Structure 1
Amino acid sequence: MNSFLRTTICAFLLSGCTSANSQSMPYKSWYLGFSAPAYMEVWIETADVVDIQDHVYPRAMSGVASMLKPPNNSGDPRGWPKRAGWGKGKYVTGADLPKQIYVRWQSLVEPQTYQMVINIPEATREIMRKGEKVFCTADGKWITGYRKAIAIRLVPGGIAKVWVTGPCMTPIEVTTVKAVIDPRGPYEGESGGKHRPLSAVSKAYVEKFGVPYGSW
Protein backbone atom coordinates (compact mmCIF):
# COMPACT_ATOMS: atom_id res chain seq x y z
CA MET A 1 0.00 0.00 0.00
CA ASN A 2 1.43 3.39 -0.92
CA SER A 3 2.13 5.94 1.81
CA PHE A 4 -0.54 8.38 0.63
CA LEU A 5 -3.28 5.77 0.79
CA ARG A 6 -2.09 4.55 4.19
CA THR A 7 -2.07 8.11 5.55
CA THR A 8 -5.55 8.79 4.17
CA ILE A 9 -6.99 5.61 5.63
CA CYS A 10 -5.48 6.41 9.03
CA ALA A 11 -7.08 9.84 8.89
CA PHE A 12 -10.47 8.24 8.33
CA LEU A 13 -10.00 5.91 11.28
CA LEU A 14 -8.87 8.64 13.65
CA SER A 15 -11.43 11.26 12.64
CA GLY A 16 -15.06 11.52 13.63
CA CYS A 17 -18.10 12.48 11.64
CA THR A 18 -18.80 16.20 11.97
CA SER A 19 -21.51 18.29 10.38
CA ALA A 20 -20.53 21.25 8.26
CA ASN A 21 -21.54 24.64 9.59
CA SER A 22 -21.86 26.16 6.15
CA GLN A 23 -22.11 24.71 2.69
CA SER A 24 -20.73 25.95 -0.59
CA MET A 25 -23.35 24.23 -2.75
CA PRO A 26 -26.77 25.49 -3.90
CA TYR A 27 -28.68 22.41 -2.63
CA LYS A 28 -29.00 20.67 0.72
CA SER A 29 -27.09 17.47 -0.02
CA TRP A 30 -25.37 15.54 -2.78
CA TYR A 31 -25.76 11.89 -3.77
CA LEU A 32 -23.10 9.17 -3.79
CA GLY A 33 -24.02 6.17 -5.95
CA PHE A 34 -22.34 2.98 -7.18
CA SER A 35 -22.97 0.62 -10.07
CA ALA A 36 -21.34 -2.42 -11.66
CA PRO A 37 -21.61 -4.08 -15.10
CA ALA A 38 -24.17 -6.83 -15.63
CA TYR A 39 -23.35 -9.95 -13.57
CA MET A 40 -20.10 -8.40 -12.23
CA GLU A 41 -21.29 -8.28 -8.62
CA VAL A 42 -19.79 -5.84 -6.14
CA TRP A 43 -20.12 -5.53 -2.38
CA ILE A 44 -19.04 -2.16 -0.99
CA GLU A 45 -17.56 -2.60 2.48
CA THR A 46 -17.34 1.14 2.99
CA ALA A 47 -17.30 4.42 1.13
CA ASP A 48 -16.02 7.22 3.37
CA VAL A 49 -16.17 10.88 2.43
CA VAL A 50 -13.98 13.87 3.36
CA ASP A 51 -15.63 17.16 2.39
CA ILE A 52 -13.92 20.44 1.55
CA GLN A 53 -14.14 21.54 5.17
CA ASP A 54 -12.16 18.40 6.14
CA HIS A 55 -15.14 16.84 7.91
CA VAL A 56 -15.21 13.05 7.70
CA TYR A 57 -18.33 10.98 6.95
CA PRO A 58 -17.53 7.30 7.55
CA ARG A 59 -19.64 4.72 5.70
CA ALA A 60 -21.47 7.32 3.69
CA MET A 61 -22.39 4.32 1.54
CA SER A 62 -22.03 0.54 1.89
CA GLY A 63 -23.70 -2.59 0.55
CA VAL A 64 -24.51 -3.70 -2.97
CA ALA A 65 -23.92 -1.65 -6.10
CA SER A 66 -26.71 -1.47 -8.67
CA MET A 67 -26.35 -4.12 -11.37
CA LEU A 68 -28.44 -5.81 -14.04
CA LYS A 69 -28.87 -9.59 -13.96
CA PRO A 70 -30.88 -10.48 -17.09
CA PRO A 71 -31.92 -14.16 -17.24
CA ASN A 72 -30.43 -16.73 -19.61
CA ASN A 73 -27.08 -14.88 -19.83
CA SER A 74 -28.74 -12.31 -22.11
CA GLY A 75 -26.97 -9.27 -20.59
CA ASP A 76 -23.69 -7.76 -21.75
CA PRO A 77 -21.23 -6.58 -19.08
CA ARG A 78 -18.60 -5.36 -21.53
CA GLY A 79 -17.53 -1.74 -21.79
CA TRP A 80 -18.71 1.46 -20.14
CA PRO A 81 -22.28 2.77 -20.32
CA LYS A 82 -23.10 5.41 -22.92
CA ARG A 83 -25.08 7.31 -20.31
CA ALA A 84 -24.11 6.64 -16.71
CA GLY A 85 -26.90 6.23 -14.19
CA TRP A 86 -26.82 7.38 -10.59
CA GLY A 87 -26.31 3.88 -9.19
CA LYS A 88 -27.43 2.66 -5.80
CA GLY A 89 -26.44 4.95 -2.97
CA LYS A 90 -27.39 7.62 -0.49
CA TYR A 91 -27.46 11.37 -0.05
CA VAL A 92 -24.50 12.50 2.07
CA THR A 93 -26.56 14.62 4.44
CA GLY A 94 -24.79 17.45 6.26
CA ALA A 95 -21.65 17.30 4.15
CA ASP A 96 -20.25 20.02 1.96
CA LEU A 97 -18.97 19.08 -1.49
CA PRO A 98 -16.43 16.24 -1.47
CA LYS A 99 -12.66 16.52 -1.49
CA GLN A 100 -11.85 12.79 -1.24
CA ILE A 101 -13.80 9.55 -1.32
CA TYR A 102 -12.22 6.37 0.08
CA VAL A 103 -13.78 3.12 -1.17
CA ARG A 104 -13.06 -0.47 -0.15
CA TRP A 105 -15.02 -3.14 -2.02
CA GLN A 106 -15.21 -6.79 -2.90
CA SER A 107 -15.27 -7.78 -6.58
CA LEU A 108 -17.15 -11.04 -6.17
CA VAL A 109 -16.55 -12.54 -9.62
CA GLU A 110 -12.77 -12.62 -9.12
CA PRO A 111 -12.96 -12.67 -6.03
CA GLN A 112 -10.75 -9.81 -4.85
CA THR A 113 -10.81 -6.92 -2.37
CA TYR A 114 -9.81 -3.45 -3.58
CA GLN A 115 -9.35 -0.04 -2.02
CA MET A 116 -8.79 3.41 -3.49
CA VAL A 117 -8.91 7.12 -2.80
CA ILE A 118 -10.74 9.28 -5.34
CA ASN A 119 -9.54 12.87 -5.27
CA ILE A 120 -12.24 15.33 -6.33
CA PRO A 121 -10.66 18.46 -7.86
CA GLU A 122 -12.10 21.95 -7.63
CA ALA A 123 -13.02 21.82 -11.32
CA THR A 124 -15.42 18.96 -10.59
CA ARG A 125 -16.94 20.82 -7.64
CA GLU A 126 -17.48 23.83 -9.91
CA ILE A 127 -19.46 21.60 -12.26
CA MET A 128 -21.55 20.44 -9.28
CA ARG A 129 -22.26 24.05 -8.24
CA LYS A 130 -23.25 25.26 -11.70
CA GLY A 131 -26.97 25.39 -12.48
CA GLU A 132 -28.20 24.83 -16.04
CA LYS A 133 -31.58 25.29 -17.67
CA VAL A 134 -32.66 21.85 -18.82
CA PHE A 135 -35.86 20.32 -20.19
CA CYS A 136 -37.22 17.30 -18.33
CA THR A 137 -39.09 15.07 -20.75
CA ALA A 138 -40.70 13.08 -17.92
CA ASP A 139 -42.90 15.99 -16.84
CA GLY A 140 -42.45 18.34 -19.80
CA LYS A 141 -40.96 21.18 -17.75
CA TRP A 142 -37.87 23.37 -17.88
CA ILE A 143 -35.93 23.38 -14.63
CA THR A 144 -32.66 24.71 -13.26
CA GLY A 145 -30.74 21.48 -12.91
CA TYR A 146 -27.63 20.68 -10.91
CA ARG A 147 -25.21 17.78 -11.19
CA LYS A 148 -25.55 16.91 -7.52
CA ALA A 149 -24.76 13.21 -7.85
CA ILE A 150 -21.38 11.48 -8.00
CA ALA A 151 -21.78 8.17 -9.84
CA ILE A 152 -19.00 5.60 -9.52
CA ARG A 153 -18.87 2.43 -11.62
CA LEU A 154 -16.72 -0.40 -10.22
CA VAL A 155 -15.46 -3.12 -12.55
CA PRO A 156 -13.27 -6.22 -12.14
CA GLY A 157 -9.57 -5.55 -12.02
CA GLY A 158 -10.08 -2.67 -9.59
CA ILE A 159 -10.98 0.02 -12.12
CA ALA A 160 -13.44 2.79 -11.22
CA LYS A 161 -14.88 5.45 -13.49
CA VAL A 162 -16.52 8.54 -12.02
CA TRP A 163 -19.21 10.85 -13.41
CA VAL A 164 -21.18 13.79 -12.05
CA THR A 165 -24.84 13.90 -13.01
CA GLY A 166 -28.22 15.14 -11.90
CA PRO A 167 -31.96 15.11 -12.62
CA CYS A 168 -32.52 15.55 -16.38
CA MET A 169 -28.79 16.34 -16.81
CA THR A 170 -26.25 14.77 -19.14
CA PRO A 171 -23.57 12.95 -17.10
CA ILE A 172 -20.03 14.33 -17.31
CA GLU A 173 -17.10 11.93 -16.89
CA VAL A 174 -14.53 13.35 -14.48
CA THR A 175 -11.91 10.67 -13.78
CA THR A 176 -10.85 7.02 -13.91
CA VAL A 177 -9.04 5.50 -10.92
CA LYS A 178 -7.06 2.26 -10.66
CA ALA A 179 -7.46 0.79 -7.19
CA VAL A 180 -4.95 -1.33 -5.30
CA ILE A 181 -5.55 -4.74 -3.80
CA ASP A 182 -6.16 -4.63 -0.06
CA PRO A 183 -3.57 -7.15 1.28
CA ARG A 184 -5.73 -7.73 4.34
CA GLY A 185 -8.42 -9.31 2.18
CA PRO A 186 -12.17 -8.97 2.71
CA TYR A 187 -13.47 -7.22 5.81
CA GLU A 188 -9.96 -6.01 6.68
CA GLY A 189 -8.83 -9.60 7.26
CA GLU A 190 -11.60 -10.45 9.73
CA SER A 191 -13.41 -13.05 7.60
CA GLY A 192 -10.62 -15.59 7.17
CA GLY A 193 -10.23 -14.64 3.51
CA LYS A 194 -13.87 -15.41 2.69
CA HIS A 195 -15.65 -13.04 0.31
CA ARG A 196 -19.39 -12.73 0.05
CA PRO A 197 -20.98 -15.45 -2.11
CA LEU A 198 -21.67 -14.86 -5.78
CA SER A 199 -25.30 -15.17 -6.87
CA ALA A 200 -26.32 -18.15 -8.99
CA VAL A 201 -27.14 -15.94 -11.99
CA SER A 202 -23.74 -14.22 -11.97
CA LYS A 203 -21.93 -17.49 -11.33
CA ALA A 204 -23.60 -19.09 -14.36
CA TYR A 205 -22.58 -16.19 -16.59
CA VAL A 206 -18.95 -16.17 -15.45
CA GLU A 207 -18.62 -19.94 -15.75
CA LYS A 208 -19.80 -19.77 -19.36
CA PHE A 209 -18.26 -16.52 -20.61
CA GLY A 210 -15.62 -15.53 -18.08
CA VAL A 211 -14.82 -11.98 -16.97
CA PRO A 212 -14.35 -9.55 -19.92
CA TYR A 213 -11.29 -7.78 -18.51
CA GLY A 214 -10.14 -6.24 -21.76
CA SER A 215 -13.40 -4.34 -22.31
CA TRP A 216 -12.85 -1.73 -19.55
Structure 2
Amino acid sequence: MKRLMLLVSLLFSLSACATGPKPPASPQLPYDSWYVGLAAPRHMEVWVETVDVLDQRGLRFFHVFGGVASYTGQAEGWHKGGGKMKPVNNVDLPERIFLRWQSLVEPQAYKIRIPIPQWVREEMIKPERGFCQWSKTWETDYRDSITLGMAPGGIVKVWVGGACLDYKEVGRFQAEIEPLGPYIGKSKGQYIPIEPENKAYVEQHGIPYGTW
Protein backbone atom coordinates (compact mmCIF):
# COMPACT_ATOMS: atom_id res chain seq x y z
CA MET A 1 0.00 0.00 0.00
CA LYS A 2 2.79 2.39 0.86
CA ARG A 3 4.50 1.59 -2.46
CA LEU A 4 1.22 2.24 -4.33
CA MET A 5 0.72 5.59 -2.58
CA LEU A 6 4.31 6.57 -3.36
CA LEU A 7 3.82 5.67 -7.04
CA VAL A 8 0.58 7.68 -7.27
CA SER A 9 2.27 10.65 -5.60
CA LEU A 10 5.23 10.45 -8.01
CA LEU A 11 2.97 10.26 -11.08
CA PHE A 12 0.97 13.26 -9.86
CA SER A 13 4.19 15.22 -9.32
CA LEU A 14 5.49 14.38 -12.80
CA SER A 15 2.13 15.35 -14.34
CA ALA A 16 2.22 18.72 -12.58
CA CYS A 17 5.78 19.35 -13.81
CA ALA A 18 4.90 18.42 -17.38
CA THR A 19 1.85 20.67 -17.43
CA GLY A 20 3.61 23.79 -16.11
CA PRO A 21 2.36 27.32 -16.68
CA LYS A 22 0.20 27.90 -19.72
CA PRO A 23 1.77 29.89 -22.58
CA PRO A 24 0.34 33.38 -23.05
CA ALA A 25 -2.62 33.70 -25.37
CA SER A 26 -1.97 35.05 -28.85
CA PRO A 27 -2.82 38.71 -29.43
CA GLN A 28 -6.50 39.16 -30.29
CA LEU A 29 -6.28 42.03 -32.79
CA PRO A 30 -8.42 42.88 -35.81
CA TYR A 31 -5.31 42.65 -38.01
CA ASP A 32 -2.27 40.37 -38.32
CA SER A 33 0.27 42.89 -37.04
CA TRP A 34 0.67 46.50 -36.02
CA TYR A 35 3.49 48.78 -37.23
CA VAL A 36 6.33 50.88 -35.88
CA GLY A 37 7.58 53.82 -37.96
CA LEU A 38 10.89 55.68 -37.64
CA ALA A 39 11.19 59.31 -38.71
CA ALA A 40 13.52 62.30 -38.38
CA PRO A 41 13.72 65.87 -39.75
CA ARG A 42 15.52 66.23 -43.08
CA HIS A 43 19.33 66.20 -42.74
CA MET A 44 19.06 65.47 -38.99
CA GLU A 45 20.37 61.95 -39.54
CA VAL A 46 19.73 59.26 -36.94
CA TRP A 47 20.63 55.62 -36.51
CA VAL A 48 18.24 53.57 -34.37
CA GLU A 49 20.05 50.94 -32.33
CA THR A 50 16.92 49.25 -31.03
CA VAL A 51 13.17 49.52 -30.53
CA ASP A 52 11.91 47.21 -27.76
CA VAL A 53 8.29 46.68 -26.72
CA LEU A 54 6.51 45.77 -23.50
CA ASP A 55 3.05 44.71 -24.64
CA GLN A 56 -0.23 44.87 -22.73
CA ARG A 57 0.15 41.22 -21.69
CA GLY A 58 3.32 42.18 -19.84
CA LEU A 59 5.59 40.39 -22.33
CA ARG A 60 8.86 41.96 -23.51
CA PHE A 61 10.11 41.87 -27.08
CA PHE A 62 13.59 43.07 -27.97
CA HIS A 63 14.92 44.54 -31.22
CA VAL A 64 11.60 44.66 -33.06
CA PHE A 65 13.03 47.43 -35.28
CA GLY A 66 16.17 49.48 -35.88
CA GLY A 67 18.41 51.04 -38.51
CA VAL A 68 17.79 54.15 -40.58
CA ALA A 69 14.72 56.37 -40.42
CA SER A 70 12.86 58.14 -43.20
CA TYR A 71 13.19 61.91 -43.36
CA THR A 72 10.76 64.80 -43.62
CA GLY A 73 10.88 67.43 -46.34
CA GLN A 74 12.64 70.05 -44.22
CA ALA A 75 15.03 70.35 -41.31
CA GLU A 76 12.75 72.48 -39.13
CA GLY A 77 9.47 71.26 -37.68
CA TRP A 78 7.68 67.96 -38.20
CA HIS A 79 5.40 66.30 -40.65
CA LYS A 80 2.62 64.30 -39.01
CA GLY A 81 3.26 60.60 -38.56
CA GLY A 82 4.40 58.16 -41.21
CA GLY A 83 8.07 57.20 -41.42
CA LYS A 84 9.90 54.03 -42.34
CA MET A 85 7.48 51.28 -41.29
CA LYS A 86 7.95 47.71 -40.13
CA PRO A 87 5.27 45.21 -39.03
CA VAL A 88 5.46 43.95 -35.46
CA ASN A 89 4.24 40.34 -35.54
CA ASN A 90 2.89 38.23 -32.65
CA VAL A 91 3.14 41.18 -30.26
CA ASP A 92 0.10 42.60 -28.50
CA LEU A 93 -0.60 46.34 -28.40
CA PRO A 94 2.20 48.30 -26.73
CA GLU A 95 2.10 49.41 -23.12
CA ARG A 96 5.63 50.83 -23.25
CA ILE A 97 8.21 51.33 -25.98
CA PHE A 98 11.92 51.54 -25.30
CA LEU A 99 13.98 53.43 -27.87
CA ARG A 100 17.75 53.87 -28.13
CA TRP A 101 19.33 55.77 -31.01
CA GLN A 102 22.28 57.80 -32.24
CA SER A 103 21.78 61.41 -33.30
CA LEU A 104 24.58 61.54 -35.86
CA VAL A 105 24.60 65.30 -36.44
CA GLU A 106 25.61 66.04 -32.83
CA PRO A 107 26.78 63.20 -32.34
CA GLN A 108 25.04 61.86 -29.23
CA ALA A 109 23.41 58.64 -28.07
CA TYR A 110 19.97 58.79 -26.44
CA LYS A 111 17.57 56.43 -24.73
CA ILE A 112 13.97 56.71 -23.55
CA ARG A 113 11.08 54.65 -22.21
CA ILE A 114 7.83 55.87 -23.73
CA PRO A 115 4.55 55.05 -21.95
CA ILE A 116 1.67 54.37 -24.34
CA PRO A 117 -1.65 55.58 -22.87
CA GLN A 118 -4.77 53.43 -22.86
CA TRP A 119 -6.55 55.77 -25.30
CA VAL A 120 -3.90 54.95 -27.91
CA ARG A 121 -4.55 51.21 -27.64
CA GLU A 122 -8.27 51.91 -27.93
CA GLU A 123 -7.63 53.94 -31.09
CA MET A 124 -5.58 51.08 -32.52
CA ILE A 125 -8.52 48.64 -32.47
CA LYS A 126 -11.34 51.07 -33.34
CA PRO A 127 -12.53 50.74 -36.97
CA GLU A 128 -13.05 54.02 -38.81
CA ARG A 129 -13.90 55.05 -42.35
CA GLY A 130 -11.13 56.88 -44.14
CA PHE A 131 -10.13 58.00 -47.62
CA CYS A 132 -7.21 56.02 -49.02
CA GLN A 133 -5.02 58.22 -51.22
CA TRP A 134 -3.37 55.25 -52.91
CA SER A 135 -6.66 53.69 -54.08
CA LYS A 136 -8.82 56.86 -54.15
CA THR A 137 -11.56 55.01 -52.29
CA TRP A 138 -13.24 55.16 -48.88
CA GLU A 139 -12.46 52.13 -46.72
CA THR A 140 -12.72 50.94 -43.14
CA ASP A 141 -9.28 51.13 -41.58
CA TYR A 142 -7.50 51.08 -38.22
CA ARG A 143 -4.87 53.30 -36.66
CA ASP A 144 -2.47 50.37 -36.49
CA SER A 145 0.79 52.34 -36.76
CA ILE A 146 2.91 54.12 -34.17
CA THR A 147 5.55 56.55 -35.46
CA LEU A 148 8.60 57.52 -33.41
CA GLY A 149 10.04 60.86 -34.55
CA MET A 150 13.58 61.63 -33.33
CA ALA A 151 15.35 65.00 -33.40
CA PRO A 152 18.63 66.42 -32.06
CA GLY A 153 18.66 67.24 -28.40
CA GLY A 154 16.88 63.97 -27.59
CA ILE A 155 13.43 65.15 -28.68
CA VAL A 156 10.95 62.37 -29.47
CA LYS A 157 7.48 62.83 -30.90
CA VAL A 158 5.01 59.96 -31.12
CA TRP A 159 1.94 59.62 -33.34
CA VAL A 160 -0.66 56.92 -33.93
CA GLY A 161 -2.39 56.57 -37.29
CA GLY A 162 -3.23 54.36 -40.23
CA ALA A 163 -2.77 54.03 -43.98
CA CYS A 164 -6.18 55.61 -44.70
CA LEU A 165 -6.59 57.58 -41.44
CA ASP A 166 -4.93 60.70 -40.13
CA TYR A 167 -2.27 60.61 -37.42
CA LYS A 168 -2.96 61.78 -33.88
CA GLU A 169 -0.17 63.05 -31.67
CA VAL A 170 0.48 60.85 -28.62
CA GLY A 171 3.01 63.18 -27.02
CA ARG A 172 6.35 64.96 -27.07
CA PHE A 173 9.06 63.45 -24.91
CA GLN A 174 12.57 64.29 -23.76
CA ALA A 175 15.07 61.42 -23.93
CA GLU A 176 18.11 61.15 -21.71
CA ILE A 177 21.70 60.84 -22.83
CA GLU A 178 22.95 57.26 -22.85
CA PRO A 179 25.94 57.50 -20.44
CA LEU A 180 27.67 54.50 -22.01
CA GLY A 181 27.60 56.10 -25.46
CA PRO A 182 26.72 54.46 -28.78
CA TYR A 183 25.83 50.78 -28.63
CA ILE A 184 25.94 51.05 -24.81
CA GLY A 185 29.73 51.18 -24.96
CA LYS A 186 30.28 48.20 -27.24
CA SER A 187 31.54 50.36 -30.12
CA LYS A 188 34.08 52.15 -27.87
CA GLY A 189 32.62 55.57 -28.62
CA GLN A 190 32.39 55.12 -32.39
CA TYR A 191 29.19 56.38 -34.01
CA ILE A 192 27.72 55.30 -37.33
CA PRO A 193 29.30 57.57 -40.01
CA ILE A 194 27.07 60.47 -41.06
CA GLU A 195 26.21 60.90 -44.73
CA PRO A 196 28.35 63.63 -46.40
CA GLU A 197 25.26 65.53 -47.58
CA ASN A 198 23.90 65.80 -44.05
CA LYS A 199 27.28 66.69 -42.59
CA ALA A 200 27.67 69.51 -45.14
CA TYR A 201 24.18 70.84 -44.37
CA VAL A 202 24.82 71.02 -40.63
CA GLU A 203 28.22 72.64 -41.12
CA GLN A 204 26.59 75.36 -43.25
CA HIS A 205 23.25 75.86 -41.49
CA GLY A 206 23.73 74.45 -38.01
CA ILE A 207 21.17 72.44 -36.02
CA PRO A 208 17.78 74.19 -35.60
CA TYR A 209 17.26 73.33 -31.92
CA GLY A 210 13.92 74.45 -30.53
CA THR A 211 11.93 73.88 -33.73
CA TRP A 212 10.78 70.38 -32.83
The one of 83, 100, 106 equivalent to 1:104 is 100
Q: Quick one: distance in 1 between partners of 2:154 and 2:45?
A: 13
Structure 1 residues 94-119: Cα deviation after superposition (integer angstroms, max 9, x where no partner)? 01100111011000000000000011
* 8 Å contact from structure 1 (residues 150, 165) kept in 2: yes
* 8 Å contact from structure 1 (residues 134, 169) kept in 2: yes
Alignment-derived partner of residue 139 in structure 2: 143
What is the TM-score of this pair, normalised by structure 1? 0.84
Alignment-derived partner of residue 84 in structure 1: 81
Alignment-derived partner of residue 35 in structure 1: 39
> Quick check: 1:195 aligned with 2:183?
no
CA shift, 1:89, in A, is 3.3
Q: Which is greater in Rg? A: 2
Q: Quick one: distance in 2 between partners of 1:114 and 1:142?
A: 40
The one of 52, 56, 62 equivalent to 2:60 is 56
Structure 1 residues 31-76: Cα deviation after superposition (integer angstroms, max 9, x where no partner)? 01111100000000111011101111100001111125xxxxxx63
CA shift, 1:24, in A, is 3.9
RMSD between aligned alpha carbons?
Answer: 1.4
Structure 2 residues without counterparts, runs of 5 or longer: 1-22
CA shift, 1:20, in A, is 5.3
Deviant stretches of 4+, over 4 Å: none
Q: Percent identity?
A: 48
Structure 1 residues without counterparts, runs of 5 or longer: 1-18, 69-74
Q: Which amino acid aligns with 1:111?
A: P
The 1:60–1:213 alpha-carbon spacing in structure 2 relative to 1, beyond 3 Å, is same
Q: Secondary structure at the match of 1:151?
A: strand
Structure 1 residues 130-179: Cα deviation after superposition (integer angstroms, max 9, x where no partner)? 11012224323221110000011100000100000111111110111100
Q: Quick one: distance in 2 between partners of 1:137 and 1:196?
A: 36
Q: Which amino acid aligns with 1:45?
A: E
